[in-house]
Amino acid sequence: MRSTITRKRLLSAALVAGAACSAELFAHGGTRSHQERVPPGAKSYFGRFTDADCYVLAMGADLQAYRTAAGEKSSKALREMNDTAVKVYKKGGETYRDGRWLFEPGIYEDHPDTTYAGRTEVTPDMAPARVKGIGNDTSHFMRWPMFLSSHVEALGSSTPRGAEFVKYRTGLTKQFLTKVLVPPGPEFRGYRVTNYMDGTNGIYRYKYSASLPKGFGPYELSSSLLCGWWVFLHDDRVSEMYRKESTLFPFTQEEADAYLGPSKAAPYFPNGSYELDCRLAGKLNLDGGAPAPSEKIDEKDHALWSKHERSVLSSPIWRGSAAESAQFTLMLPLHAAFLNGDKEMQKDFADHFARFAEKGPLDMTGATLLGKMEYLYFATRFLVLAQKTGHSDLIPPRMAASVEEEVERLWDGDNPPLSNTGYGEPRFTNYRDYIEWKLALER
């Protein structure tokens, strides 16, 4: 595993990267002919692989899986994206001797969000407490079980490259179960997670904003667990955890506040979203085939679905801030609708995406770049699930083509600047060149 000492030695010995030359090279369609080093004095997160990078690669995987299921050939761009994903996870992944796996541990060691990761209580005049090898925060990293599963689907679990992603997912499962997941105990009756993926449970994002002056204390990112995405690790122990968690609802206000931390205004406890996600995660038919009787979506599930999520789905959530948040609680219902064979929910999703497809990605007004990616990933999951479960008739005409065009534009088109030049990174306008630059960086 990379260490802070190793990183400092690299930084002290590194040559200054030619940022301006790099930007001009890629602007003219060039390819990198030499390996750059992280420039002296750069932060640990310079050239990191972001969630945005991984969203783009996961969407490319889904579109390839969709095309394969539809009996179509993949485009050159999709093949490039899937080849690149193999390289990104090979470079960024860290497998430990006991089989645990993490993605870029230590990459955020000197990031402002992790300044006080070694502290468990906010006190006056609190001194920074950095943690060597700090993992990603668990609230953002809940996406990775789904990302890895998308790559397994696209590459095939029986192929050498697909088997590598299965290995990563298995290693992440061990990391999650042994270092991150905290079972119920005398002090709290529900499951929780540590704030960081390496098992550190200190403060996250202290003084991040005026609305979050104290950041998130121990366990206060645990509401992310209740979205259900960890079930995509494809492990019975995780499914069983969700089955047990689903029986604990309703939580008291004090318990809900413990899950939510400073985000106490989040409505997902009273409107039933978290309960629905935990219930569906516990019965999700991950093995495929006909669902077992215990996996049937029942009246209580439908009642919770109709209480809130159905109305959310009836609105244009591809616009504005909803694009970034709505799909977090809708991803489990989407998978359950198709994997557990619920026609009522399938129709609700088909109607939603029919409205989206009328104008397509051009109608995603007001959404941030990341928000667009999060919604588009929701859309590519719909395409894969509907096609692979024999419901291609529910896919609106032109939806697949318009989504693929948008994803490929992000990959190799001309977009507004994507890289974080404030971190000293060169300017890039597509993810193919941006990620290639990161792959070539010597750390």
How large is the average pLDDT for residues 146-151? 98
Q: What angle do CA 266, 362, 435 make, to 5 degrees?
A: 80
Residue-wise pLDDT for 239-282, tens only, equals 999 999 999 999 999 999 999 999 887 899 999 999 999 999 99
What's the CA gap between 259 and 264, in Å, rounded? 9
Amino acid at 304: L
pLDDT tens by residue, 182-195:
999 999 999 999 99
**pTM above 0.85?**
yes
Task: Quote the CA–CA distance of 200 and 99 in Å, as a whole number.
Answer: 19
pLDDT number for residue 34: 52
Kindly report which listed range (13-17, 141-145, 343-347) carries the lowest average pLDDT score.
13-17
Judge whether 88 and 435 are in contact, CB under 8 Å: yes
Amino acid of residue 88: V
pLDDT recorded at residue 12? 35
> Does 15 score more than 60 pLDDT?
no
Contact between 179 and 238 under an 8 Å Cβ cutoff? The reply is: no
Task: Tell me the average pLDDT across 132-155.
Answer: 98
Nearest to 192 by CA among 138, 271, 266: 138
pLDDT tens by residue, 52-85: 999 999 999 999 999 999 999 999 999 999 999 9
Domains of the chain: 1-42+413-443 (no CATH), 43-412 (1.50.10)
Residues 351 and 364: their CA atoms lie apart, in Å, by 17
Q: Which percentage of the chain shows pLDDT scores above 90?
A: 85
List phi, psi (to 5°) of 55. -60, -50
pLDDT digits (tens, 9 = 90+) for 424-441: 899 999 999 999 999 999
Cα gap 268→299, rounded to integer Å: 20
Between CA 437 and CA 300 the distance in angstroms is 50
CA 390 remoteness from chain centre: 26
**pLDDT value, residue 211:** 76
Select the more confidently predicted residue: 309 or 7. 309
Q: Tell me: the pLDDT tens digits for 291-343?
A: 999 999 999 999 999 999 999 999 999 999 999 889 999 999 999 999 999 99
What six digits make up the tokens of 434? 């941006």
Q: Which of 10-19, 183-192, 327-336, 346-355 has the lowest mean pLDDT?
A: 10-19
- Predicted confidence (pLDDT) per residue in 199-212, tens digit: 999 999 998 887 78
Q: How confident is the model at residue 35 (pLDDT cuts 50, 70, 90)?
A: low
